[in-house]
């Protein structure tokens, strides 16, 4: 059933945060650092620890209290090397950002830096990762079931949007930061996107890695990007939001009825030694427009808010990054 125009807000705002990396790499003993994590610890000691700063995230939280988006999404990489201690610290950040009813996350490659039992990693964030009851019903899963850790894509209905969380996070060998969605998840994704198509909900796909082939090097990219694009081209989506690149990027991929915008947000915690990587988050405003026959369509405007080292606060960027025009 299409959404009746009277049932939707005139403006619905969605904040997009990514790549927080705001967890110290400080295990209780040296043992967890053996293997690939040693490289990550070195990277954190030499670079990441000085780049991704909690004072920037504190300022971001203050700014979010002012901009007060209706919903927030986080496209992965809350941790650095997937230590259990990091998952606990990241859970505290999630709770500070907002309640699970208002905040939806997907994991990134740093959140599965090495293979870690779910019970001491993603399960600690399950309230922020899992589908809601409406989403589980759409996926054909029993309502009220316990989080099973493998239930991606997640689906959350937050009218007028449907948030579809895709996990591209898989453990990789040293020096690789690639991702994979996998055939099973792709099949479920196509089913749920197709089921949502006639509802009038704005299908917002969340994924850590860029979905389009060639967006980054094979060493850092999504192995099955082509297959994901094929699903999106057949089933459609209104917007894809991702992270991983730590820079602003707006691309388009083919959908069944025109192109689908693909938006990357920078890291939300970068102190900004490189100005083009300075911390930023996006606010997407969905504006309902009369599409006739009592139904609503949406125009989506994207604004960026950036860390300002002078004032130590987040401020609106001088000019909007772009305008995403929805169906006329």
The nearest distance, CB 235 to Fe ion, in angstroms, is 25
The nearest distance, CB 208 to Fe ion, in angstroms, is 6
Which lies closer to Fe ion via its Cβ, residue 40 or residue 255? 40
Interacting span for Fe ion (CB under 5 A) from 73-81, 167-175, 178-186, 300-308: 73-81
The nearest distance, CB 110 to Fe ion, in angstroms, is 6
Binding-site size for Fe ion (CB under 5 A) equals 4
- Is residue 244 a contact residue for Fe ion (CB under 5 A)? yes
- Is residue 108 a contact residue for Fe ion (CB under 5 A)? yes
The nearest distance, CB 18 to Fe ion, in angstroms, is 9
CA dist 256 and 56 (Å) reads 40
3-state secondary structure the chain: CCCEHHHCCCEEEEEEECCCCCCCCCCCCCHHHCCHHHHHHHHHHHHHHHHECHHHHHHHHHHHHHHCCCEEEEECCCCCCCCHHHHHHHHHHHHHHCCCCCEEEECCHHHHCCCCCHHHCHHHHHHHHCCCHHHHHHCCCCCCCCCCCCCCCEEEEECCEEEEECCCCCCCCCCCCCECCCHHHHHHHHHHHHHHHHHCCEEEEECCCCCCCCCCCCCCCECCHHHHHHHHHHHCCCEEEECCCCCCEEEEEEECCEEEEEEECCCCCECCCCHHHCCEEEEEEEEEEECCCCEEEEEEEEEEEEEECCCCEEEECCCCCEEECCCC
> What one-character DSSP code corresponds to residue 4?
B
Tell me which of 77, 86, 238, 270 binds Fe ion, using CB under 5 A: 77
The nearest distance, CB 168 to Fe ion, in angstroms, is 9
Interacting span for Fe ion (CB under 5 A) from 69-77, 94-102, 162-170, 229-237: 69-77
CA dist 88 and 318 (Å) reads 36
- Is residue 121 a contact residue for Fe ion (CB under 5 A)? no
The nearest distance, CB 195 to Fe ion, in angstroms, is 29
The helix (run of H) or strand (run of E) holding residue 263 is: strand 258-264
Which lies closer to Fe ion via its Cβ, residue 222 or residue 253? 222
Interacting span for Fe ion (CB under 5 A) from 3-11, 108-116, 130-138, 199-207: 108-116
The nearest distance, CB 306 to Fe ion, in angstroms, is 20
Binders of Fe ion among residues 257 to 286 (CB under 5 A) are: none
- Is residue 23 a contact residue for Fe ion (CB under 5 A)? no
Tell me which of 51, 71, 80, 109 binds Fe ion, using CB under 5 A: 109
The nearest distance, CB 19 to Fe ion, in angstroms, is 6
CA dist 279 and 271 (Å) reads 6
CA dist 172 and 179 (Å) reads 8
Which lies closer to Fe ion via its Cβ, residue 109 or residue 121? 109
Interacting span for Fe ion (CB under 5 A) from 1-9, 152-160, 191-199, 237-245: 237-245
Interacting span for Fe ion (CB under 5 A) from 20-28, 65-73, 75-83, 278-286: 75-83
**Which residue of this chain has its Cβ atom nearest to Fe ion in the complex?**
244
The nearest distance, CB 139 to Fe ion, in angstroms, is 26
Which lies closer to Fe ion via its Cβ, residue 108 or residue 135? 108
| Length of the chain, in residues | 328
List residues binding Fe ion (CB under 5 A): 77, 108-109, 244
């Amino acid at each position: 059933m299409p959404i009746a125009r009277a049932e939707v807000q005139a403006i619905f705002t969605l904040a997009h945060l990514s790549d927080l990396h705001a967890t110290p790499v400080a295990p209780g003993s040296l043992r967890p650092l053996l293997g690939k994590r040693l490289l990550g610890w070195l990277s954190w000691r030499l670079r990441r620890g000085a780049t991704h700063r909690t004072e920037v995230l504190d300022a971001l939280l203050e700014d979010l209290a002012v901009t007060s988006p209706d919903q927030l999404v986080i496209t992965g990489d809350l941790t650095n090397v997937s230590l259990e201690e990091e998952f606990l610290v990241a859970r505290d950040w999630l709770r500070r950002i907002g309640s699970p009813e208002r905040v939806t996350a997907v994991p990134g490659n740093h959140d599965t830096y090495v293979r870690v039992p779910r019970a001491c990693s993603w399960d600690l964030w399950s309230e922020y990762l899992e589908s809601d009851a409406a989403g589980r019903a759409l996926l054909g899963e029993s309502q009220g079931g316990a989080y099973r850790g493998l239930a991606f894509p997640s689906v959350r209905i937050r009218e007028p949007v449907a948030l579809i969380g895709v996990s591209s996070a898989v453990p990789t060998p040293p020096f690789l930061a690639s991702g994979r969605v996998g055939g099973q998840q792709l099949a479920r994704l196509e089913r749920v996107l197709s089921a949502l198509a006639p509802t009038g909900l704005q299908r917002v796909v969340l994924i850590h890695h860029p979905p389009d082939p060639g967006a980054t090097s094979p060493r850092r990219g999504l192995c099955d990007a082509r297959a994901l694009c094929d699903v999106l081209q057949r089933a459609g989506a209104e917007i894809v939001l991702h992270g991983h690149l730590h820079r602003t990027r707006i691309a388009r991929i083919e959908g069944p009825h025109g192109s689908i915008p693909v938006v990357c947000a920078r890291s939300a915690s970068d102190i900004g030694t490189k100005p083009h990587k300075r911390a930023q988050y996006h606010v997407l405003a969905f504006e309902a427009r009369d599409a006739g026959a009592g139904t609503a369509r949406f125009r989506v405007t994207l604004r960026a808010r950036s860390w300002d080292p002078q004032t130590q606060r987040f401020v609106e960027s001088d000019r909007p990054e772009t305008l995403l025009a929805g169906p006329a």
